[in-house]
Structure 1
Amino acid sequence: MLINSENGVIELESFTTRLYKGMSLDQLEQSDFYKEKYHSIQDVKTGYFWYYFKSIEIQGYQVSFSLCFFGDQLDIIQMNTWENGDAKDWNEWTEEKEMKVFHRNNTFLSQILDRLPTQKQKKPYPSRTFIFPWGNVWSVYDPRSAGSFMGINFNEEENK
């Protein structure tokens, strides 16, 4: 299982790595996942740093992770599926292609969570949300950024 439905922890078994809100940057940097798949970092100049990783295969999908740290603690977890036919730049991008990514992300989440979304919305943007006692797992197509993303939100009281 990738996302533990009891607590929202992401288990990357092939890298013996667990990703969770509040994880320290030191813990991430010592993980096999970081050592093998780290790609780049972006300092957004607000105390937040985004760490980007090369994709890994999960249940037949190529999945990439973007991890946002505030200071030295993991704060935001985002993911995305990828296939060869996806747009590689603006010249290849179409809304139709991006909606395929959105639908593929939804299928991926339903498979790894072994359930259907709790909420489906069309407005203001197409989204799917899987609600749990500790927070939620979401997928959205955002036309403002012309992208589809997935992620995990944790309830504030779950902070460690």
Structure 2
Amino acid sequence: MLINSENGIIELESSAIQLYKGMRLDQLKQTDFYKVNYHNMWDVKTGYFWYYFKTVEVKGYQLHFSLCFFEDQLHSLHMNTWESSDAKDWNEWTEEKEMQVFYRNNKFLTLLLGIPPTRKKKTPYPSVSFRFPWGSIWSVYDPRSASSLMGISYNEEAK
């Protein structure tokens, strides 16, 4: 997986796909990535649709992708690393385990981007971000949802 730091285009070599802000849903549906890894979809009923995908391997990490489309164009995406030792339900969940996911996500992004985070915050919740002219790549632990997540958010003017 490569993320072009100049324009935010994500390239998954294993699936020969490029993901970018404004990508059309019909383009995504024609890719092997979609055909092989599509898991399910959630219609938020506000014009936004989330598409969820099975885990793919990226640089030795198991990675989940969730793509957010507004109407028929890619708006943003979320990712998460996964390991078999992660909590599978609330009975296994602890904040300590979830913080390990947060740290693993941060390590993955630093490895992928080859640079340290631009910004680190501890409040209101732990997060790191890598800022670029086109948007940002971020990782957060959100105690309100008891989850850790990474994502790419594009500036509104970015195309």
Unpaired runs of 5+ residues, structure 1, are none
Deviations 1:33-56 (A, max 9, x none): 001100011111111111000011
Q: 2:137 and 2:152 mapped to 1: Cα distance? A: 4
Q: How many percent identity over aligned positions? A: 70
Q: C-alpha distance in 2, partners of 1:118/1:154?
A: 16
- Structure 2 unmatched runs, 5+: none
Distance 2:54 2:82 in 1: 11
The Cα offsets for residues 71-108 of structure 1, whole Å up to 9 and x where unpaired, read as 11111111000000001111111100000000000000
Which residue in 2 is equivalent to 1:29?
29
Aligned to 1:119: 119
Q: Does 1:107 align with 2:113?
A: no
Match of 1:79 in 2: 79
- How many residue pairs end up in the alignment? 159
Determine helix, strand or coil for the equivalent of 1:131. strand
Moved more, 103-112 or 10-19: 10-19
Contact map agreement 2:75 2:154 (CA 8 A) in 1: no
What TM-score does the superposition give when structure 1 sets the normalisation length?
0.97
What corresponds to 1:139 in structure 2? Answer: 139
2:110 and 2:116 in contact (8 A); partners too? yes
User: TM-score, normalising length from structure 2?
Assistant: 0.97
SS in structure 2 at match of 1:156: coil
CA distance in 2, matches of 1:101, 1:143: 13
Matched, 1:54 2:54: yes
